[in-house]
Amino acid sequence: MSRQSLREAHQKIQELSWEPTFATPAKKYGTDYKFSKAGKKDPLKQMLRSYFPMEEEKDNRVYGAQDGAIRGNMFRQVQERWMEWQKLFLSIIPFPEISAARAMPLLFSTVPNQELHNGQAIQMIDEVRHSTIQQNLKRLYMNNYIDPAGFNSSLRNFHNDYCGTIGRQFGEGFITGDALTAASIYLTIVAETAFTNTLFVAMPAEAAANGDVLLPTVFHSVQSDESRHISNGYATLLMALQDEDNRELLERDLRYAFWNNHAVVDAAIGTFIEYGTKDRRKDRESYAEMWRRWIYDDYYRSYLMPLEKYGLTVPHEEVEEAWNRIWNKGYVHEVAQFFATGWLVNYWRIDPMTDEDFEWFEYKYPGWYAKYGEWWENYNRLATPNGHHPIAVEAALGNIDYQYPHRCWTCMVPCLIRQDTVHDKVDGQWRTYCSETCHWTDKYAFRPNYNGRETPNMGQLSGHREWETLYHNWELSDIVVDMGIVRDDGKTLTPQPHLDLDADKMWTVDHLRGLPFPSPNVSLNEMSDEEREEHMALYKQGGPGGRHAAAAAG
């Protein structure tokens, strides 16, 4: 089709909609934003006559590549260290994808622009594509990779494991609450425009370096759709900016959404890229370098900051502090250490770091070894069962210097940068937060009024947000059975703190008997005021690398 006829064709499909006079579509979802009818044009200009064949062609390439990878025995050269983390990643990601599909109707109810609804409908079916193509990739991994355990249980364990909720808010955040906050600002303006770059571009590159050519095949195909979705978000944002009353809400939502995306996505993807790789070339980009390029330069400087010409203040402090956390406060390293500490309640295996890894980390993040090196050496030493306990229990017994962290009530990543921890009694409960912004999100942003204005459509944070609460003082052996992370022999754990598949090197339920597991939040709420303040003061003095305050001081 020529450009001229494309324009005519797109103009033609604008004739499809009409202004109803007998009844108007049900208004199922609400927003506190205000929109005038003067709207933006559909930025996608995508017609289904060309869309379906285009996607079919993209699919053919993906499935052709999958056939080729299987015939070429790709799994003889994939790194197990990498593949194990895919058990987590590919259990998380189909959910946000399908949630993005489900999010589109929220905008039908609230953004009065039928042209934009066309683009949102196409985004919906794109997202169905993404969710199922990613599930299919996981299925392929399960069928062809040496260790299917964890892939085969992924959608049970993702919904109940100790870091699943961290990933799940990057999905639930799209579909619930104020329609604009969820489906536009959190989903398209921040998640898709900023963080899909690290998810779907940076991560596949690392996969390829670890012998996996299929993650890039699938996710680059996905990303070529995401770039269209960004236009949907931008058009809605420009509409919102036309009403001055929306600015305060936009600023609230950009602040919340950027910080939450940072907390969640950087925790997960940062860990995959830095701790899931065997590629230790000194000239390959670290996650921090990628973040600086994709998020700081491409998104913050080129996309967010120009919005200020519309009178909006973008969340400078959050962006700078996110960078500060990644570069100076060891955010990704603290998270990876936490995941590895809790290896026994995950559903994948976590490979210990080696001398080569240490050297790379020290090169890329000077000072890394002093903070984390000893802990990883202990992790390696305690990897196979030999009369000792898992590292988390050894730490609880005082044999390893690591204080099991409090969870952040808002982002659910623990409060790992101990000095930034905030504690407060909110809704009658003592809660801990990883940062001032997460504290603000719970206490002030997700409330029915904000800065003195009514915000009756704003959502609420809900659920059992600290996983550890559910298993307070349970024995670890009972926890893993309850979670279903036991292999088909009925005793060997799905997770392991190493990659050795010899049965006598693998941990079993029996190794975990008699080991209780207390919830930090339950314990915090059981303390007297004095005990709690003393406990939190010491907690905030701890770190880096999870060290207790006394050791940090010493």
Partner 1 sequence: MTTLEPTPAPQQRSVPKLSFTDAEAGAKTFPGSESRFFEYYKPKGRKRTHYEDVTIDVQPDPRHYLSQGWLYSFADGQAGYPLEWTVLKAWGEDTNTPPKRYAASGGQATADKVGWPATGWHEFRDPNEEWEQTIYRYNANVVRQMTQNIDNARETKAFAQWNPSWVRFVERHASAWMHPEHGLGLYVFVDANRAAPTNMHNNAISVNGMHRIRFAQDIAMYNMTLANEIEGFDGTAHREAWYQDPVWQGVREVAEHLTAISDWAEEVFCTNIVFEPLVGELFRTQLVMHSAPGNGDYVTPTVFSAGEYDYAQRDLRYTRAMFSLLTEDKEFAEHNKSIMQGWLSTWVPRCLDAARQLQPLWSQPEAKPPRFEDSLDAVKERFAGICRDLNLQPSKELGQ
Q: Which of residues 25-54 bind partner 1 (CB under 8 A)?
A: 25-26, 28, 30, 47-49, 52-53
b/e code 376-389 from CB counts within 10 Å (16+ = b): bebbbebbbbeeeb
Cis bond before residue 456 (omega within 30° of 0): no
DSSP-derived 3-state class of residue 469: helix
Residues 463 to 482 in contact with partner 1, rule: CB under 8 A? 463-465, 467, 469-474, 478-479, 482
Tokens of 69: 């990878």
Residue 274 binds partner 1 (CB under 8 A): no
Q: Is the dihedral of CA 188, 191, 194, 195 positive or negative?
A: negative
Backbone angles phi, psi at 475, to 5 degrees: -75, 145
Tell the burial category of 109 from Cβ atoms under 10 Å away from its Cβ (0-12, 13-18, 19+).
middle
Residue 226 binds partner 1 (CB under 8 A): no
Residues 185 to 214 in contact with partner 1, rule: CB under 8 A? 208-211
Q: Which of 189, 382, 483, 515 contacts partner 1 by CB under 8 A? A: 483
Only one of the segments 35-43, 139-147, 229-237, 541-549 lies at the binding site for partner 1 (rule: CB under 8 A); that segment is: 139-147
Only one of the segments 101-109, 236-244, 249-257, 293-301 lies at the binding site for partner 1 (rule: CB under 8 A); that segment is: 101-109
Q: Which of 110, 298, 125 is nearest to 198 (CA)?
A: 298
Q: Which of 45, 278, 443, 532 contacts partner 1 by CB under 8 A? A: 278
Residue 550 binds partner 1 (CB under 8 A): no
Report H helices in 179-297.
179, 196-197, 203-209, 214-241, 246-261, 267-275, 287-291
For residues 271 and 265, what is the distance between their CA atoms, to the nearest angstrom?
10
The distance of closest approach from Cβ of residue 386 to partner 1 in the complex, given in angstroms and rounded to an integer, is 19
Residues 397 to 416 in contact with partner 1, rule: CB under 8 A? 412
Residue 94 binds partner 1 (CB under 8 A): yes
Residues 350 to 379 in contact with partner 1, rule: CB under 8 A? none
For residues 350 and 82, what is the distance between their CA atoms, to the nearest angstrom?
9
Q: Which of 184, 66, 192 is nearest to 127 (CA)?
A: 192
Q: Give 252 or 329: the residue with its C-beta nearer to partner 1.
A: 252
Residue 236 binds partner 1 (CB under 8 A): no
Q: Give 392 or 483: the residue with its C-beta nearer to partner 1.
A: 483
Q: Which of 68, 306, 367, 484 contacts partner 1 by CB under 8 A? A: 484
Q: Helices 80-92 and 94-110: crossing angle, nearest 10°?
A: 30
Q: Which of 7, 64, 132, 449 contacts partner 1 by CB under 8 A? A: 132
Identity of the amino acid at 533: E
Task: Using the structure block, give the residue that is written with the tokens 């809900």.
Answer: 462
Only one of the segments 34-42, 99-107, 304-312, 385-393 lies at the binding site for partner 1 (rule: CB under 8 A); that segment is: 99-107
Only one of the segments 264-272, 291-299, 378-386, 451-459 lies at the binding site for partner 1 (rule: CB under 8 A); that segment is: 451-459
Q: Give 158 or 361: the residue with its C-beta nearer to partner 1.
A: 158
The distance of closest approach from Cβ of residue 126 to partner 1 in the complex, given in angstroms and rounded to an integer, is 10
